[in-house]
């Protein structure tokens, strides 16, 4: 299961130029070596507990459950991790691997800046040199995250080529990686990209599902009926899903961003509306034009705004192991308000997509059913954006007033 040669069914693989292939091979060999090394795993466990603050709770949302009147809703509280989301699980894992490989310099790409912040955080922790590539347009949209990264000691390089957004930042980072492979490690932020990244990120995020599985067995004496998570690139979702893969009675649901609606061009629902193709060096479901170029995508949740999706999710979809659904901005905002006022938890806008679907699902299920929802991050980063949306759009203000 672990050594899959980088394929999940027909998806995944390594579609990159030859020099990059050699560099990726070194990462792959080291990953397979250390992921079974008891000392490496011990060190990983130490930082998960002492730095991230794991294990985090599996929390029964009693007020929300009662209000909906159906299945019991549990939240896996990744929002309580240090830095406020699941991304740190992966960043710590890859940084420790880089250290073992003798690399002194870390590079990463970032779109909205959340992965850049997680990467800058672990570089500060381990005293590593950190360079973050970010599209120039994104650096202007996300000035506060640029400052956060700089506070943490990272160098942020605005990328001006192409569209000056995430795709160009990825290209710049890959270029740097090939040029400086001797002392540099590329820390990738989601369960995407060429092998070994999707498998590696999955392994470092699987702590989510491993903990949740043990916790629900302890609390309820049985497995959940459903597990639900939002899907951008797919790392928080695969981290929850993978440890339940062989529990065939557990139904798996990934929630994609339907943005302004699946019948518009403004969404990022790669699995729901995409077709198989190759982007960023791997094969997956992707939103592409007739030439196979990635289409512009949109979600109000910056972390879900990606034209592809992890290869393992692409395989889960085709094999029928998981179902993928989509939730609009509007539905996610409603859940954002509802969770804030019913449980005192302000979720990340990304996570609010999973919450929205879980609420809809719970209302149709009997009371003895159990749903686990991954609360991938906290909403502190989103409150200013939501405030603007309320001020600009009456229908959003109405949603809040109805809670």
Ligand X SMILES: *Cc1c(COP(=O)(O)O)cnc(C)c1O
Q: What is the DSSP string of 25-51?
A: HHHHHHHHHHTT-HHHHHHHHHHIIII
In sequence order, the 6+-apart residues with CB closer than 8 A to the CB of 293 are none
**Closest CB to ligand X among 305 and 338?**
305
**The one catalytic residue among 30, 314, 351, 376:** 376
Size of the site for ligand X (CB under 6 A): 19
Least separation in angstroms between CB 76 and ligand X = 12
Binding pattern for the stretch 233-272 against ligand X, x by CB under 6 A and - elsewhere: xxxxx-----------------------------------
**Closest CB to ligand X among 277 and 377?**
377
CB 361, CB 69: distance < 8 Å: no
Give the three-state DSSP class for 287: coil
**The one catalytic residue among 78, 109, 203, 331:** 109
Least separation in angstroms between CB 156 and ligand X = 18
Among 65, 81, 139, 376, binds ligand X (CB under 6 A): 376
Measured distance CA(222)–CA(247) in Å, rounded: 11
In sequence order, the 6+-apart residues with CB closer than 8 A to the CB of 37 are none
**Closest CB to ligand X among 6 and 189?**
189
Task: Give me the residue label for tokens 């929630």.
Answer: 255
Radius of gyration of the chain (CA): 20
**Per rule CB under 6 A, is residue 23 in the interface with ligand X?**
no
**The one catalytic residue among 28, 76, 78, 87:** 87
Among 135, 294, 303, 307, binds ligand X (CB under 6 A): 303
Angle at 80 between CA 75 and CA 82, to 5 degrees: 150
Measured distance CA(172)–CA(159) in Å, rounded: 7
**Closest CB to ligand X among 331 and 350?**
350
Least separation in angstroms between CB 279 and ligand X = 15
109 a catalytic residue: yes
**Closest CB to ligand X among 61 and 181?**
61
Rounded to the nearest angstrom, the gap between the alpha carbon of residue 232 and the centroid of all alpha carbons in its chain is 6
For residue 160, the number of C-alpha atoms closer than 13 Å in the C-beta half-sphere is: 0
Least separation in angstroms between CB 206 and ligand X = 13
376 a catalytic residue: yes
* Tokens read off for 387: 């405030």
Binding pattern for the stretch 88-127 against ligand X, x by CB under 6 A and - elsewhere: --------------------------x-------------
Rounded to the nearest angstrom, the gap between the alpha carbon of residue 62 and the centroid of all alpha carbons in its chain is 26
Q: How many helices (H) and strands (E) does the chain have?
A: 17, 14
CB 73, CB 365: distance < 8 Å: no
**Per rule CB under 6 A, is residue 304 in the interface with ligand X?**
yes
Residues listed for the chain: 403
In sequence order, the 6+-apart residues with CB closer than 8 A to the CB of 145 are 110, 112, 113, 114, 116, 117
Binding pattern for the stretch 333-372 against ligand X, x by CB under 6 A and - elsewhere: ---------------x-xx---------------------
**Closest CB to ligand X among 87 and 103?**
87
* Pick from 162, 87, 76: nearest CA to 121: 87
Among 12, 93, 232, 311, binds ligand X (CB under 6 A): 232
Among 134, 159, 212, 230, binds ligand X (CB under 6 A): 230
161 a catalytic residue: no
Among 54, 76, 77, 87, binds ligand X (CB under 6 A): 87
**Closest CB to ligand X among 85 and 396?**
85
Least separation in angstroms between CB 373 and ligand X = 12
Which spans of this chain sit near ligand X (rule: CB under 6 A)? 85, 87, 114, 190, 230-237, 303-304, 348, 350-351, 376-377
Active-site positions read 87, 109, 376
């Amino acid at each position: 299961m672990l050594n899959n040669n980088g394929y999940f069914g027909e998806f995944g693989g390594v579609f990159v130029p030859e020099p990059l292939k050699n560099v990726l091979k070194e990462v792959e060999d080291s990953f397979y070596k250390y992921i079974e090394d008891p000392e490496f795993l011990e060190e990983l466990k130490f930082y998960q507990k002492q730095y991230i603050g794991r294990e985090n709770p599996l929390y029964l949302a009693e007020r929300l459950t009662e209000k909906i009147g159906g299945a019991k809703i549990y939240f896996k509280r990744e929002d309580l991790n240090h830095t406020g989301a699941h991304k740190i699980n992966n960043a710590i894992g890859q940084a420790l691997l880089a250290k073992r490989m003798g690399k002194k310099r870390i590079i990463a790409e970032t779109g909205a800046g959340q992965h850049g912040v997680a990467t800058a955080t672990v570089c500060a922790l381990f005293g590593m040199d950190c360079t973050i590539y970010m599209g120039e347009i994104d650096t202007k949209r996300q000035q506060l995250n640029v400052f956060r990264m700089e506070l943490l000691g990272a160098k942020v390089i605005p990328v001006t080529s192409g569209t000056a957004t995430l795709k160009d930042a990825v290209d710049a980072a890959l270029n740097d990686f090939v040029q400086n492979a001797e002392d540099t490690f590329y820390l990738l932020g989601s369960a995407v990209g060429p092998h070994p990244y999707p498998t590696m990120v999955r392994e470092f995020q699987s702590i989510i599902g491993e903990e949740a599985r043990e916790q629900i067995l302890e609390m309820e004496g049985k497995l959940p009926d459903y597990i639900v998570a939002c899907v951008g690139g797919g790392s928080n979702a695969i981290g929850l899903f993978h440890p339940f893969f062989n529990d065939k009675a557990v139904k798996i649901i990934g929630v994609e961003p339907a943005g302004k609606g699946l019948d518009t061009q403004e969404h990022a629902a790669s699995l729901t509306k995409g077709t198989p193709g190759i982007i960023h060096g791997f094969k997956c479901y992707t939103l592409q034009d007739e030439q196979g170029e990635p289409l512009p995508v949109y979600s109000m949740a910056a972390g879900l705004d990606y034209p592809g999706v992890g290869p393992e999710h692409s395989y889960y979809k085709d094999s029928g192991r998981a179902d993928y659904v989509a939730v609009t901005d509007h539905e996610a905002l409603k859940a954002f308000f509802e969770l804030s006022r019913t449980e005192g938890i302000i979720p990340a806008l990304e996570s609010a997509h999973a919450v929205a679907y879980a609420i809809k699902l719970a209302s149709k299920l009997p009371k003895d059913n159990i749903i686990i929802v991954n609360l991938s991050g906290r909403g502190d980063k989103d409150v200013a954006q939501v405030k603007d949306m309320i001020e600009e759009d009456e229908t959003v203000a109405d949603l809040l007033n109805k809670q």
